[in-house]
Every structure is written in structure tokens, then in C-alpha cells.
Amino acid sequence: MNAAKTCWGIYRELAHSPGRVDADRAILDCVGEALAARGFNVELVAADAEFDTHFANIFVMCERGPVLARLGNAEKTGSIVVNSPGAIRNTYRHRMIELFARHHVLAPASQVVASDANKPRPPTGVWVKRYDFHATESRDVMYAASEEGWQEALRGFAKRGIPFVVAQEHVPGDLVKFYGVRNAKAPMESNWFEWFYHRDKGMLGYSFEVLCLRRAAFGAAAALGLEIFGGDAIIQADGEPVIVDINAWPSYARYRDRAPAVQLAAMPRKLAGQHAHRAPARLRGTLLPAAP
């Protein structure tokens, strides 16, 4: 089998696809079909399965530490991985808020707090989120409007063995979701981008410039090193977008018919055998324990 014409796709871990297992699988299946149509041999596997790691072409939705470590080693031996394991690790919340601050990404004020800390609630209502992964279940994101709710949230995370949380300020405004594909070598305005209002959320109807949202989203993705990404933003009363979350390779559910072709526009050159040594991005100075 020609290694340069073989691609491995790695599905997201089931625990990381709450309520969207089929949607997450569907986008990876679509990308695999699109690659096959371009002449690649495609193998799609679970995150705990065996896959080629030597000069391999790999596109991934997985997020946990052990498989990212394997992918990091694969990069060191010449494999191409999209998104890079370093960028995926940067979506862990405690890394993300540090990188957002470093790169001046407009985001809600956030702080890392030990879940067993006897610390009073911040002066305003906050979102309490697990410090590493994005939501794997409903209890991973909680709103604390009172001191009692804050302490209850901390105790809940501590009982689940999650040592830290991110306390993130509540930003009033309209919640929007966005998807993007970033090619750093192309002008930002030419990169694919879509957005829509989040379902089941109240609307205040604040006006804004889509170009401002695009710039904010791509700036956040660049800060983490992501190429295939999605996220959430709040449109404030003045029209300024605030990036709340960003994650690697979402399901693109509303745009599954178009997204694979757009995603592949940035991938074939990489996946056609132009293997180069690319060490994964590393975040220095992080003192929090590694996520499982």
C-alpha cells in the first residue's frame, strides 16, 4: 500500500460526543469519502485502535492525552496530522485561556480554580467549567448565580475527580456558533467561514459586522494553532464579538454537505507526501496536571 496515498482518520472518543456521536462520525465519514474520491486509500478507526504512525497521513477528531501522545510521536517521525496534536491540546480550557490572553483574543475574564478550594464566588454570576476538555456531559458546564450554587458546583467537580475548574464571567449578548477552516498561507477573508445563531437561546438582536466575527474567530484559531475548528461567541450590545469557546474539528452538522470539500482544500497538499518534520506546538509554563 502506498503510504503517501493512504490516510488514517481517527474518530472522536464516544465520551467526547455527548448527544452527537452520529454527527461527529458523519463528518469524518464524509471527509474519508471525499479523500477516497481523490484517489487516497482511507482507513477510519477509533481512538484506541492501531494505526500507522510512520510517515502517515492522519486527520483526527480525537482529544484525549494517550492518543494525542501517539500522534505527537507520529509527527516526530514525519507524519502529517490535521489538526496537530499540539493544537488539539491547546483547546483544553486551561491552555486556551492562557493563549487567548497571550495573543489578545477578546474572551470572557476567566480564572482556574481548584475544585476543592474554599474560595468565595467571584462578584458576579459565572460559568463553572471543567478545566480540560469541552463538555463530555451536562455537568461539565454549570452556571453559578449565587454563593451556594458556586460551592455546589465546586463540590460536584471535586467528587467527580476533576481537580480544577475554569470560572468564566457571564457576558450578556447574543450567542452565535461558528465554523471555519484556516489556511494560514491564504488571506483570512478567503478562508471558509460560516456562522449561525445558537438554537434554543434567547435573542437580543444586537447588530454586528460578520467580518468582525470572522476576524475574532480566525484570530482565536490561530492563537491555538487550529486549522479545522468551530466555536461559540457572544455578540455584545456594541456589536463586538467575544470568543467563549473554540474546539478542534466540530461536526459541521449544518454544513456537512459543503464542509468536507472545504476542509480538504487545505489538506491534499499536506496529504500528498510533502512530509516535513513539524514538532507539535507546546505551551510552556503550565503547572496544571495533564488531562487523562
Tens-place pLDDT, residues 183-201? 888 888 888 999 999 876 6
pLDDT at 101 over 90: yes
Backbone angles phi, psi at 124, to 5 degrees: -120, 170
Percentage of residues of the chain with pLDDT beyond 90? 56
- The single residue listed with the C-alpha cell 460536584 is 156
- The burial class, CB within 10 Å (0-12 / 13-18 / 19+), for 219 is middle
Rounded CA gap, 54 and 73, in Å? 9
pLDDT of residue 282: 29
Count CB-CB contacts under 10 A for residue 194: 17
All residues at 6 or more sequence positions from 248 whose CB lies less than 8 Å from its CB, including other chains: 61, 63, 83, 87, 88, 91, 226, 228, 229
